[in-house]
Chains A and B, each alone.
Chain A
């Protein structure tokens, strides 16, 4: 009896042990993964480690773009009690309770399990919601791009899309550096979801900060002046570039119309987002004469004082007659062909240069090719290959027709003259992280003496009689520049219209230029829409402020000489003669802003030193109170300014002597 009971007991114990073993195997082996996953789900939390997108700074270290974490609150309408959720959230988020209730109920009725209640919560709102004891209400933390300066440098900075990827500006071109990759960490939690231990599953990769060459103070002034000029002249758009001619650093790059990068775009490709400084080429008009004359100085015997026959305002080429934009000139020194912007004179000079040389120098100055500025959609402009030039192409390009350029290309070309003849590629990025971004080495384009001569000739543009006078003159600084106005071609009617691309490119101070400023207004009208009247004032305002901000020493007395002040008041500055006919022939399309102002009474006239000995020249100059810079020995052969020209205060006469 006892044995039987013992057997039964042992059997029961064994069965019990077997049952336990079976369950152990089932738990630990068969369903191991399932239960392990369940345990992890309860005990582990995967948390994103934020890796914010790299900030963008201007050259002074002021932030232009930065990423800030923001919270989005969302609920599961099928889990929450609509009354409770609406009550809590409306109180925390200052929303209308009834409206929120209706939204939650509607979402629940539509069997939706996800409803975003509010995005971009403030810090206080997010903090107050993070400790809510209600299931179904959750916060989602995301990094949002902010542009604290609003519209400032919008075309340079660009924007990011909903995925946090750059889709314009340097946000797009430097996306690989700026973009951060968030990491993940596993947090072991207790029953109350308090973290106990962490393990980094994916290491975060923060975005790298980028420092631009832009100076926000100059950028602001550039955008303000450009917007005011566009509005004042009824233009459609405009662009402006401020550049350091020695380093190629772009100090300001403005395009109008502009936009707020903080606001999502209303359309797919709104016109406001078009960067007119880099992406929209235009026919430059007379500013291109700088290239023509530079090529002439390099490849021909023409000198500033060389007399050019301007044909009394007309020239006939291959059966077509090209008129001067204004009245007409007889014979002009080459320097005055530039300062008065004679189309006929420029054509004659271009004919002397020749097609091959002209094309080569256009390429050397960087036209027809991208500047390499790191902005998306940069246009290379249009420069026909030499094989496609027609008989009249040389004449056209000599005065800035049959070629299209961008404002940043013009700034690059003006820098060649300003820095002594080197082509320096524009730079927009100063540093990526702590690494300074090196630029391409400069390339010699013209000889230094050619560049200096061009500078002096370009100074004439802002002197009385020049097309940029008096708008482009600066108080306390010598200036060189060139105006340009090109009629806008209407492809629909295949005619040139009476709307203009008015532009001005210039630099200051003349002796050692610190800045190059190129301003372009597209779609101006009437006499006041020419470059000297519409764009030169923009140059004046921006350059004056830039020189002040950059603390550039003055090289002229602040008060303008009396003669210059009187000339400023002279009538007829804005008088523009009739334009060329509206035939579709590009050669007959002239549109220059040149004023037909006679040279205003300025300083003393320059005597004719040619043929005299150095002793005689110095004695004559001393008796007249003039300063002469002699060069060489023997008999005076060449002088600049030419004989008869009016001297401005402080100007010296260069005289070259030879035997």
Chain B
């Protein structure tokens, strides 16, 4: 049941003309707009109205939804690899840059290590700590001739 609003101006005035203009006192408060409008409702009974069954429109609706879904899927199928490719490209470039940066850093660190391990630097450090070169045969390699073999000092 619906209601239909109806509005009308206050009694005493016809619908053909507006309210008469009156000369207002300068100190009189201004009236609220449309304070003379008031509502009333009228009950309308439309319960007898019944929507007519339309099986074709239902099918068409599902077809449209299916077509739209297919279209979306197709679009997704076409665009997704490209988008994934682009995103992978970003990632790949980032990783490549990282790899180069790390390689450069490693070379810089290798250089620093080589400088620290130079015989001159080691000799300076040894002098500072009053270390002397061992005599021939004083250092014994315990694990053969391997460079990383354990050593023992013969006093």
Contacts from A to B (Cβ < 8 Å): 50, 52, 60, 62-63, 66-69, 123, 146, 148-150, 152, 187-188, 194-198, 216-217, 219-220, 475-476, 544-545, 547-548, 551-554
Contacts of B114 in A (CB 8 A): 62-63, 66, 148-149
CA of A148 to CA of B145 in the docked complex: distance in angstroms?
A: 27
> What residue of chain B has the Cβ atom nearest to residue A187's Cβ?
B93
Are A149 and B119 in contact, with the CB atoms below 8 A?
yes
Stretch at the interface among B55-63, B65-73, B130-138: B130-138
Are B118 and A196 in contact, with the CB atoms below 8 A?
no
Contacts from B to A (Cβ < 8 Å): 85-86, 89-90, 92-94, 96-97, 100, 104-105, 107-108, 110-111, 114-115, 117-120, 123, 133-137, 141, 145, 147
Are B90 and A216 in contact, with the CB atoms below 8 A?
no
Question: In the complex, how many angstroms separate the beta carbon of B135 from the nearest chain A beta carbon?
Answer: 7
Are A50 and B100 in contact, with the CB atoms below 8 A?
yes
Are B111 and A548 in contact, with the CB atoms below 8 A?
no
Q: Which among B92, B107, B118, B145 is the interface contact of A68 at CB below 8 angstroms? A: B107
Are B120 and A149 in contact, with the CB atoms below 8 A?
yes
Q: Which among B93, B107, B110, B120 is the interface contact of A150 at CB below 8 angstroms? A: B120
CA of A188 to CA of B104 in the docked complex: distance in angstroms?
A: 23
CA of A217 to CA of B135 in the docked complex: distance in angstroms?
A: 15
Q: Which among B89, B90, B93, B134 is the interface contact of A548 at CB below 8 angstroms? A: B134
Question: In the complex, how many angstroms separate the beta carbon of A416 from the nearest chain B beta carbon?
Answer: 26
Main secondary structure of the interface of A (DSSP, over half): mixed
Are B100 and A216 in contact, with the CB atoms below 8 A?
no
CA of A554 to CA of B154 in the docked complex: distance in angstroms?
A: 15
Are B96 and A198 in contact, with the CB atoms below 8 A?
yes
Question: In the complex, how many angstroms separate the beta carbon of B98 from the nearest chain A beta carbon?
Answer: 12
Contacts of A52 in B (CB 8 A): 107
Q: Which residue, A52, A195, A544, A552, has most C-beta atoms of chain B within 10 A? A: A195
Known A63-B114, A66-B107; judge A198-B120 contact (CB<8 A).
no
Are A554 and B136 in contact, with the CB atoms below 8 A?
yes
> What residue of chain B has the Cβ atom nearest to residue A130's Cβ?
B101
Q: Which among B94, B105, B111 is the interface contact of A148 at CB below 8 angstroms? A: B111
Known A62-B117, A148-B118, A149-B119; judge A194-B133 contact (CB<8 A).
no
CA of A382 to CA of B114 in the docked complex: distance in angstroms?
A: 41
Are B111 and A220 in contact, with the CB atoms below 8 A?
no
CA of A187 to CA of B93 in the docked complex: distance in angstroms?
A: 9
Q: Which among B111, B117, B136 is the interface contact of A66 at CB below 8 angstroms? A: B111
Are B90 and A194 in contact, with the CB atoms below 8 A?
yes
Contacts of B133 in A (CB 8 A): 545, 548
CA of A123 to CA of B97 in the docked complex: distance in angstroms?
A: 15
- The 6 A-B pairs with the shortest beta carbon distances in the complex, nearest first, are A195-B93, A148-B114, A220-B119, A548-B136, A196-B89, A149-B118
Contacts of A67 in B (CB 8 A): 107
CA of A215 to CA of B90 in the docked complex: distance in angstroms?
A: 47
Contacts of A198 in B (CB 8 A): 92-93, 96
Contacts of B119 in A (CB 8 A): 149, 152, 216-217, 219-220
Contacts of A553 in B (CB 8 A): 137
Contacts of B93 in A (CB 8 A): 187, 194-198
Known A66-B114, A148-B115, A149-B118; judge A123-B107 contact (CB<8 A).
no
CA of A149 to CA of B145 in the docked complex: distance in angstroms?
A: 25
Are B137 and A476 in contact, with the CB atoms below 8 A?
yes
